[in-house]
Chain A
Amino acid sequence: MNTLLQRVYFGLVGLFLALPIIVVAGVSVNAKQDLAFPPKGFSLGWYGEIFANPEWRNALFASITLAALSAALALLIALPLAWFLWRRHAPWANVFQLLGIAPFTLPPVITALGLLTFWATTGFYGQPATAVISHAIFFVTLPLVTLSLGFSSIDRSLVEAAATMGADDRTVFRTVVLPLILPYLISGYAFAFVLSLNEYIVAYMTIGFTMETLPIKIFNALRYGYTPTMASVTILFVAIAAAIFGLVARFGDLPKLLGAMSSRD
């Protein structure tokens, strides 16, 4: 492939991807409470505002808690299911895999609406736990997909070898399967965590009236109260995501986690 052409193409795509981030970064350093771009003046104060302003701080805290808990719950649902499908020959159980993939592949507003009617009917509407469960179900697809990929990459002869050496099912899981699955567990969690941090509509429909997560607060800020804090928060989140995935790449085999075969370099 013509290297120059390739470089130009990559450059264009890179520019396309970067433009909005550049805009948001620019807005975040406005000196005054103004969403001007190019920015008027320069101030990093809006980054501090995230933690200083109680409203933003609470929203940040709410988002991080929601993300941490719902990603964990999603993992707890996905792991036994993925393991069962790999270990046992049970074609009928694939229906649960379909159910696991459905919430994420359907338009989010559908899942959000379904959960809204459910919580309203059962009377739990508005309670914070509903958001954790809703997000967990919505994002269970992510660890499910990464774990399926992970399990399918386990060489079955490793499991057989362990059995010939005296390991029963539980021991095999503990000493062979789990260590090999760990990177996929982590990447599934990271995915769900990052996406939950920025998810708007499911959170809005379940607890939008009682609590504010960051995406909800940003949307409200856009409508009712312009402030560069929403830009600084976004840049912060992009940085967090980059850090998380950077760590995964540093300590793990990112291409393999995303579906490549074992690296040959």
Chain B
Amino acid sequence: MRREAPQKLTDYAPLAFPAGMLIVFFVVPFATMIAVSFFRRDPAGFYSPDFVFDNYARFLSLFFGKVLGFSLFLAVAVAICCVVIALPFTYLLSRTKRRTQVLWLVALLSVLSLSEVIIGFAWSTLFSRTAGITNLLVMLGIMSEPVALNPSFGAVLTAMVYQALPYAVLVLYPALVRLDPTLTEAARTLGASPLKAFFTVVVPALRNTIVATLIMVFIFALGSYLLPQILGRPQHWTLSVLITDQAIYQSNMPFAAAMAVFLVLVTLGLVALTVYAGRKGEAA
């Protein structure tokens, strides 16, 4: 059927329900949140409609600046570690037999079913002094004495990489599995070792997908709420933790909303910057 523009009014019908749902239950809440961020906080616990910048002014302080900086740094670290692990893995996976691929895919999809709480709990056990990895290493004679690896930045990083890894693989998978295998074969006939072929042919060919995956994991990590609390110290707490804290425990909705809006703007800004830089790089 030719793909023409909608002709009659009834042609628009299928769009009605999805559009309605998305506008009412996403756009409106989002707009409400933006509006609330300008409201005045009532010390009694609620807020009154107003239009003040107090909430935004409050977090342009050094403290929240540090938290924002840390959140961004952590998200970038998680994104890079995750993609560095996922890319070779997914590439090799896409070249294996179909049966192997299916097994691994089912396994990855099942790991997706682990909730953030459980991941946090499991890794806190693995990093503990009494029942964790270090105990195993002591048993194997590699270490002399067990040590608690959490709470620490490394623990938070590991757990977050763990959480994001299945998503990264699933996002990289379509592009890698559709990659023309004769490209790397050609590189090898021209003298490149498999490793060299990977870095000089596969990675450049998939530049856009890799960047997209990095951005996706970055945003995903930025939103992490539980893991920094379970596996990190207060200095490792991200902006998402603070937002929830303000919204639920401090009953300061306007402030929480303001931070949320700010987080969205920073995220969108960074994404736009990356895409723009990527385009410029391509044109050069």
Task: Mark A residues whose CB is within 8 Å of B.
Answer: 1-2, 6, 9-10, 13-14, 16-17, 19-21, 23-24, 27, 35-38, 76-78, 80-81, 83-84, 86-90, 93, 96, 99-100, 102-103, 105-111, 113-118, 120-121, 133-134, 136-137, 140, 149, 156, 159-160, 163, 169, 172, 194-195, 197-201, 205, 214-215, 218-219, 222, 230-231, 234, 237-238, 240-242, 245-246, 249, 254-255, 258-261, 263, 265
Contacts and interface: CB of A to CB of B under 8 A. Distances in A.
B256 interface: yes
B105 A249 contact: yes
Contacts of A241: 109-110, 112-113
B243 A2 contact: no
B125 interface: yes
A38 B131 CA distance: 7
B256 A172 contact: no
A133 B25 contact: yes
B22 A198 contact: no
Contacts, number: 251
B174 A137 contact: no
A234 B115 contact: yes
Contacts of A201: 225-226, 244
Contact of B117 (A116, A163, A222): A222
B25 A115 contact: yes
B26 interface: yes
A113 B107 contact: no
Contact of A16 (B119, B162, B222): B162
Nearest to B107: A17
Contacts of A194: 109, 112-113
Contacts of A240: 113
Interface of B: 1, 3-6, 11, 14-19, 21-23, 25-30, 32-33, 36, 85, 88-89, 92-93, 95, 97-98, 101-102, 105-119, 121-123, 125-126, 131, 162, 165, 170, 173-175, 177-178, 194, 216, 219-220, 222-223, 225-226, 230, 240, 243-244, 247-248, 253, 256-257, 260, 263-264, 267
Contact of A89 (B3, B28, B116): B3
A16 B113 CA distance: 16
B267 A103 contact: no
Given A20-B122, A83-B14, A200 B131 contact: no
